[in-house]
Amino acid sequence: MFKTKVILTNSNLGKLLHSTRSKKKLSLSDIEEKTNIRKKYLIALENGDFSVFPGKVYALGFCKKYCEVLGLEYNRVNRIFESEFALKEDEEVFFREKIGTAFFSVTPKTFLIALGILAGLLLLGYFYYQISLISAPPKLEITSPLSEITTDEYKINITGETDVDANLKIDDQAINFDSSGKFTQEISLKAGLNSIEIVATNRFDKKTTKNIKVLKKENTETTTTTTTI
């Protein structure tokens, strides 16, 4: 339940300032020039709008200067100012209480709505995860050897890692891997450039391919012939 508050709709202070200024045939620009108070603050005082001021001290100081130019009795104006400023503070407290109650009241209905929203978000997240599995290719990382290497060995070991539910082939030969997806496979090399293709395929037929190029040096043997004379 909200407390009943008196909300100011017309400012007596503003009416007094405006009517006195009009009787003296002074414009807001005239008052601005005489008081060095910006016009937006003069308008705010005439409208009873204290929200534009940095604080009460500023509003009261500007009001006092305005009264001096208009020749109004300050004590009378000050009583009106204090009354209206206090009423504005009550109004602000009222709206803060109202907004706080509106946002933080938890009822069975709002709890069920929040629970339904949470369940919907979780369901959307699950569907997104499943779609990403279908559309994403499998992981395939080659840790050794690096591509485009040169060696004089006849064989090399290819090591790497892939998804545990993928099918792995090296040069069309099926390769086994352990429960974590890691594998090591020995490959024979021929003299010259060897192009090795590693392909991982998941259950949705998405593929990831890596190519390794290894240059095998040719071993040349020097034969020494001894001639007997």
pLDDT in tens, 161-202: 999 999 999 999 999 999 999 999 999 999 999 999 999 999
d(CA 21, CA 126): 69
d(CA 129, CA 81): 63
Token readout for 228 is: 């007997």
CA angle (32, 34, 38) in 5-degree steps = 20
One domain, residues 100 and 144: no
3-state secondary structure string across 80-102: HHHHHHHHHHHHHHHHHHHHHHH
One domain, residues 150 and 96: no
**Model confidence over 48-72: pLDDT tens digits?**
888 888 888 888 888 889 888 889 8
Token readout for 85 is: 């400023």
CA angle (104, 105, 108) in 5-degree steps = 130
Token readout for 73 is: 């009795």
Tell me if 111 is assigned to some domain. no
Q: What CATH code is carried by the domain that includes residue 75?
A: 1.10.260.40
Residue with tokens 């082939």: 169
Query: How many Cα atoms within 13 Å fall on the side-chain side of residue 165?
Result: 9
Tell me if 42 is assigned to some domain. yes
Tell me if 81 is assigned to some domain. yes
d(CA 52, CA 213): 73
One domain, residues 66 and 150: no
User: What is the residue range of 77's domain?
Assistant: 12-104
The structural domain count of the chain equals 2
One-letter amino acid at 19 equals: S
Tell me if 134 is assigned to some domain. no
Tell me if 203 is assigned to some domain. yes
One domain, residues 89 and 18: yes
Please determine, for residue 223, whether its predicted confidence score (pLDDT) is greater than 50.
no
Tell me if 126 is assigned to some domain. no
Please determine, for residue 98, whether its predicted confidence score (pLDDT) is greater than 60.
no
One domain, residues 156 and 74: no
The SS3 assignment for 68 reads helix
